[in-house]
């Protein structure tokens, strides 16, 4: 069968685009190389718990239109992200706020906390930070850097902080209130029943073919539709002709435990260098689960190669230059639209993906009308 749109990839971008095209009376076919839809939002049901298979996902936005849009497919709960940090067995609240400062220094007022941070920064006397370590120290002082930033960041990037560029950390938000809510956004939550409900709502009555790698029969797939929406890797689309774009990857170790409540919180970061994982996620807490068992996931940062999932683009100058060349080719295409985190080589949160897909659909339909 011929379609108006072939959508390569069933992540959030592809599914929003497909839904909107169908709403405008167009026929769509989604092809997906994994054995399930949903991209990195996908949840696996284990012991009645929605396990975020590709990393913890918390939806947050201040845009009411986007919040209403996702809630029109599935109602979201009122989960509020309040992660903890575990440093050598001591627990600290995140993001850095009055609770953290009390736990670090027993200070009780914003004035005392500000003075403590300022005195540590002043003592260091760093004028032109030469690397990430100096940058962080000059913004936040020694204690917070050493206990809560250094080890975590070094694990994330796989390199000492003194070998990382200063620009990675532009600012370090601190809050002088007793407020553990990680996000500043107006709306946040988790779909009741899990992210699969959101994805299933978006692709209702749309044809999907799973276990299909578009590149195995690229020409044949492209011939099946008038337009192609491509959400895979842009360098792969152009046969790596300008070189390969680089990523950081992650390994996830999921474990089911015969215990009702393992750590009492969905997200606990491990901020010391010696613990090899960066965080432990206990999935049931995203949905206030009361199951008798629990599932936890240890998250290990990893170097990326072509056998691993490309999770985080490394937007350094070299990669950005390569991406620019691919983008110049993409901009000349008239049949193909590139969208989403892999095709645009950009870290996007979910609300940004929804916003970007809705905008691209709108622009596209304006152009063809
Ligand atoms: P996504 O990668 O989801 O979809 C692309 C799809 O295309 C995949 O299913 C892939 O298999 C498929 N595909 C690729 N090549 C193909 C080919 N050749 N043929 C067929 N199919 C192909 N955001 C947020 O708002 N809050 C959060 O808490 C988090 N947490 C988070 C944790 C971690 C560890 C990561 C890596 C990311 C987040 N995010 C997040 C970001 C969120 O995951 C992101 O915004 C969306 O998944 C992006 O959706 P896309 O559709 O762009 O990509």
In CATH, what number is assigned to the domain containing residue 35? 3.40.50.720
Q: Cα torsion at 325, 330, 333, 337 (round to 10°)?
A: 180
19 and 158 belong to one structural domain = no
Alpha carbon nearest to ligand 1 atom 51, residue: 11
> What confidence score (pLDDT) does residue 73 get?
98
The total domain count for the chain is 2
| Claim to verify: residue 346 and residue 197 sit in the same structural domain | yes
Report pLDDT for 204.
97
Lookup: tokens for 89: 């067995």
Range of the domain at 119: 95-168
DSSP strands (E only) in the chain = 3-8, 28-31, 43-46, 49-52, 59-61, 84-87, 90-93, 187-189, 207-209, 225-230, 247-257, 267-270, 279-282, 294-303, 312-313, 336-338
Ligand 1 pocket member 284 (CB < 6 A)? no
- Cβ atoms of 173 and 165 within 8 Å: the answer is no
Residues with catalytic function: 171, 175, 248, 279, 299, 347, 349
| 231 pocket-lining for ligand 1 (C-beta < 6 Å) | yes
Distance (Å, rounded) from C-alpha 237 to C-alpha 252? 27
Atom 30, ligand 1: residue with shortest CA distance: 57
Whether residue 240 is found in the same domain as residue 193? yes
Residue 296 lies in a domain: no
If you ran DSSP here, which 8-state letter would residue 170 be given?
Answer: S
Residue having the nearest C-alpha atom to atom 4 of ligand 1: 11
On whether both 234 and 197 belong to a single domain, the answer is yes
Confidence (pLDDT) at 369: 86
**Interface pTM (ipTM) of the complex?**
0.99
Query: How confident is the model at residue 173, as a pLDDT?
Result: 87
Decide: 340 and 11 in contact? Cβ < 8 Å.
yes
Q: Within a domain: residue 55? A: yes
- Check whether residue 234 and residue 320 sit in a common domain: yes
Which residue lies with its CA nearest to atom 38 of ligand 1? 57
What is the pLDDT, as a whole number, of residue 249?
Answer: 97
52 lines ligand 1 (CB under 6 A): no
335 CA to centre of ligand 1 in angstroms: 23
Q: CB of 349 closer than 6 A to ligand 1? A: yes
Q: How confident is the model at residue 332, as a pLDDT?
A: 97
Which residue's alpha carbon is nearest to atom 22 within ligand 1?
9
Phi, psi values for residue 212, rounded to 5°: -120, 115
pLDDT at 2: 95
User: Which atom belonging to ligand 1 lies closest to the Cα atom of 250?
Assistant: 34
**Ligand 1 neighbour 32 (Cβ under 6 A):** yes
CB of 228 closer than 6 angstroms to any ligand 1 atom: no
- The rounded average pLDDT for each run of 10 residues, N- to C-terminus, in the chain (369 residues) is 96 98 98 98 98 98 98 98 98 98 98 98 94 96 98 96 92 94 97 97 98 97 97 98 97 98 98 98 98 98 95 94 98 96 97 98 94
pLDDT of residue 50: 98
């Amino acid at each position: 069968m011929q379609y108006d749109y072939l959508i390569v990839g069933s992540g959030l971008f592809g599914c929003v685009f497909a839904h909107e095209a169908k709403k405008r009376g167009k026929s769509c076919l989604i092809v997906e190389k994994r054995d399930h839809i949903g991209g990195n939002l996908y949840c696996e049901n284990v012991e009645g718990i929605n396990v975020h298979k590709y990393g913890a996902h918390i939806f947050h936005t201040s845009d009411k239109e986007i919040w209403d849009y996702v809630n029109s497919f599935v109602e979201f709960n009122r989960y509020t992200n309040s992660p903890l940090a575990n440093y050598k067995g001591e627990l600290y609240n995140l993001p850095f706020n009055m609770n953290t400062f009390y736990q670090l220094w027993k200070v009780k007022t914003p004035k005392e906390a500000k003075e403590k941070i300022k005195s540590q920064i002043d003592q260091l006397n760093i004028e032109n930070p030469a690397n990430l370590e100096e940058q962080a120290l000059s913004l936040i002082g020694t204690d917070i850097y050493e206990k809560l930033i250094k080890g975590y960041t070094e694990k994330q990037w796989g390199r000492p902080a003194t070998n990382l560029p200063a620009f990675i950390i532009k600012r370090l938000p601190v809050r002088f209130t007793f407020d553990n809510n990680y996000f500043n956004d107006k709306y946040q939550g988790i779909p009741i029943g899990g992210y699969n409900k959101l994805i299933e709502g978006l692709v209702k009555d749309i044809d999907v073919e799973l276990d299909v790698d578009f590149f195995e029969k690229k020409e044949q797939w492209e011939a099946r539709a008038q337009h192609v929406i491509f959400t895979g890797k842009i360098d792969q689309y152009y046969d790596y002709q300008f070189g390969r774009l680089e990523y950081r990857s992650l390994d996830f170790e999921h474990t089911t435990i015969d215990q009702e409540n393992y750590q009492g919180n969905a997200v606990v970061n491990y901020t010391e260098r010696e613990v090899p994982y960066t965080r432990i996620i206990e999935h049931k807490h995203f949905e206030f689960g009361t199951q008798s068992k629990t599932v936890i996931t240890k998250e290990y940062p990893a170097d990326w190669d072509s056998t691993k999932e490309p999770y985080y683009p490394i937007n350094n100058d070299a990669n950005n230059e390569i991406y620019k060349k691919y983008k110049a080719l993409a901009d000349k295409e008239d049949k193909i639209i590139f969208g989403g985190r892999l095709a645009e080589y950009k870290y996007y949160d979910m609300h940004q993906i929804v916003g970007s897909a809705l905008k691209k659909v709108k622009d596209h339909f304006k152009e063809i009308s």
